[in-house]
Amino acid sequence: MSRRRGIWWAAAIVLAALAVASIGLGSVHIAPAAVLSALAGAGDPGTVTIVRVLRLPRVAMAILLGAGLGMSGASLQGVMRNPLAEPYLLGVSGGAAVGAVIAVLVGAPAVLVPIAAFIGAVLAVAVAFFVAHATPGGGDVRVLLMAGVIVGAFANAAIMLLLANADPAAMRGALWWMMGSVAAATWAQNGWLAFYVLAGGALLVAWAREIDILTLGEDAAASLGLDADRASRRVYLMASLVAAATVAAAGLVGFVGLVVPHIARRMGASASRAVILGSALIGAALVVGSDLIARTALPPAELPLGAVTAVIGVPFFLIQLRRLR
């Protein structure tokens, strides 16, 4: 028990260290001690501005983004009884991308792009959900999973059609959005992202015991007195909503929702509550670390965050696959 707890404390310390490093490293290097005092508002005013105005919102968004995607993925894997389930598989990313691409192509102001993405994500999830529930096997999570995959495939086709004849500037803008980034983070964005991640995450944690039951299948859930259809529906919708909020804030940051719950399980989490909370912590660390690499690997250029998380996530996931029985 204490050893298990030690692992989670270590993960929290790694997250804190990555956050401090991420705030300190960049075109102007700031020592960790100076970062900490600047966070408290003390020290050189220029440093305080860099830390609190320029870099902290970005790190805060990376933390919220990673935590949200991690919790969403952990909940969906449980409720879908599928270790490959993740929010992006279920149409969230495709729908959000269609919304964002349309906004970029019609020349909407940048502030509207996240809203369009959010609407696109919610619409895609709603379509997948209603299509799945219109079939005879309505509540079956496998049908839901398939519906989500198909909606996602349709969204990809729509994006290609939209971008095929777009002008290069708009195309580049749309492409950058799809590759994910926390570079443009503001406190206003962080405010509403925090609302979705914290409130949605709290609900998912509260429903964790139901998710434990749902992993046994619908019949077993019914034998334990749980209405499997209703319980899995609300977890599915809440997890999708949290993922939609992250996508609206930062574009598509892939593989976090898929990989992070597996890391949490390897670190000893087995009950859903532990997997969800652990995924929040590890997801945050993964995205903060990936953003640090994205910013500092090839200065002054920035790598797309979504590509970095995928480059880190894919090899890890392949190693995981080998261990699956």
Please report, as ranges, the residues that interact with another protein according to CB under 8 A: 77-78, 81-83, 136, 206-207, 209-210, 212-213, 215-220, 222-227, 265, 270-271, 325
- CB closer to another protein, 214 vs 247: 214
- CB closer to another protein, 228 vs 292: 228
| Smallest distance, another protein to C-beta of residue 141, A | 10
CA distances from 78 to 102, 169, 319, 324 (A): 33, 41, 21, 16
- CB closer to another protein, 65 vs 80: 80
- CB closer to another protein, 52 vs 81: 81
| Smallest distance, another protein to C-beta of residue 303, A | 33
| Smallest distance, another protein to C-beta of residue 139, A | 10
Which structure tokens are listed for 76?
Answer: 């969906």
CA-wise closest residue to 189 among 65, 49, 40, 16: 65
What kind and span of H or E run contains 315? helix 305-323
In the chain, what is the greatest distance between 2 CA atoms, to the nearest angstrom?
66
| Smallest distance, another protein to C-beta of residue 230, A | 10
- CB closer to another protein, 44 vs 227: 227
CA-wise closest residue to 65 among 317, 285, 307, 303: 285
- CB closer to another protein, 228 vs 245: 228
Is there a cis peptide before residue 83, judged by omega within 30 degrees of 0?
A: no
Give 130: exposed, middle or buried? Use CB within 10 Å, 0-12, 13-18, 19+.
exposed
Which structure tokens are listed for 211?
Answer: 């998710």
CA-wise closest residue to 121 among 148, 144, 143: 148
CA distance between the termini of the chain: 26
| Smallest distance, another protein to C-beta of residue 315, A | 22
What is the distance between the alpha carbons of residues 239 and 221, in angstroms, rounded to a whole number?
20
| Smallest distance, another protein to C-beta of residue 222, A | 4
